[in-house]
Amino acid sequence: GLRELDAVVGGGYLLGSIVVVESSVFGSFGSDLARYFAAEGLANEHVVYTDASVVASLPLELSTAQKQLKAALVVAQTSAAAPPLTIAWQYEKYAAETLPHNVKVTDNRFCHSFDLSKPMVDAMKRTCHVLLDSSSTLAYRSIFATMQQALEHSDDVVRFVLTDVGAPWISGDMTSEHQSQLLIFVRAVRGLLARHRRRAICMLTVPAFTLPTPLVRSIRHLADYVFELSSFAGQSDHLPSELADFGGLLFVHKVAHLHAITGHALDNVKLGVKRDRRKLKLEPLHLPPEGSRSQKPDKTQQPNDMSF
């Protein structure tokens, strides 16, 4: 759903992979990435299974309105340019009936554009299903059973999007038993995706700041893509000048290398995050010119070369 992120990982995520997004303490960057990922799947007519909160906040796909406007303009221009029939005037009604069906606006986009401030139209949600109700507890066995049934009853590409996996405000305290169940669930999902590696992919947003460090490392080891998000909320006074325009950072910790010795060579492992009302932007960081970080030495304080 984000062109900048697709370019970083080499053209998009590989099918059969697990994408882990470690959300930040402040801000909605993690949920925004999940919304983009789910909305991009619906725009490509994929089957999407996600949380009820994500379904309710899916962004508007902008090319839908653009296609309708272009089709209306083409119809208006064609009807205005066509001269009226004077002899065989009775055929005009047949031409008017067939004209809208002949007008087609093709859309061969690799990555669509979305507006986070507006909801997605209901017509695009016909292949979207609720995998987990936001008001229920996180039952890993029932979720995995639903994922199995979804892959068995569908031949299309299926995208699974789970947000706030392991969050204490959803599933309670992170006990040792809960940690074990969470790792078993991630391993089971990895095996399920390997079995259906040509038509399934899963994204998990994890509040890593609430989980023990060994557990976060284990989840990173099991994942194929790992992204960490950090927010600058409340730190604007302590930021350097080159980061003043950003709202946070995105760190690329891991990129998939399925069926290959090495993964995609990354040009940038750290990107700046900009979030406005309508969209989320990722931009590479640029260092300032040399010498601009530190102030130049004051000549008045330097000793005179002619003094003894």
Q: Which helix (H) or strand (E) holds 276?
A: none
Q: What is the pLDDT of residue 35?
A: 94
C-alpha 157/C-alpha 289 separation (Å) is: 47
pTM: 0.77
Rounded Cα–Cα distance for residues 21 and 134 (Å): 19
10-residue averages of pLDDT along the chain (308 residues): 82 91 88 93 92 91 66 60 54 49 50 87 90 62 92 91 89 86 95 93 94 95 94 76 83 83 74 88 74 49 51
- Whole-number pLDDT of residue 80: 57
Per CATH, domain 3-59+120-284 is 3.30.2320.50 = no
The sign one gets for the Cα dihedral 258, 261, 262, 264 is negative
pLDDT at residue 247, as a whole number = 86
Domain extents in the chain: 3-59+120-284
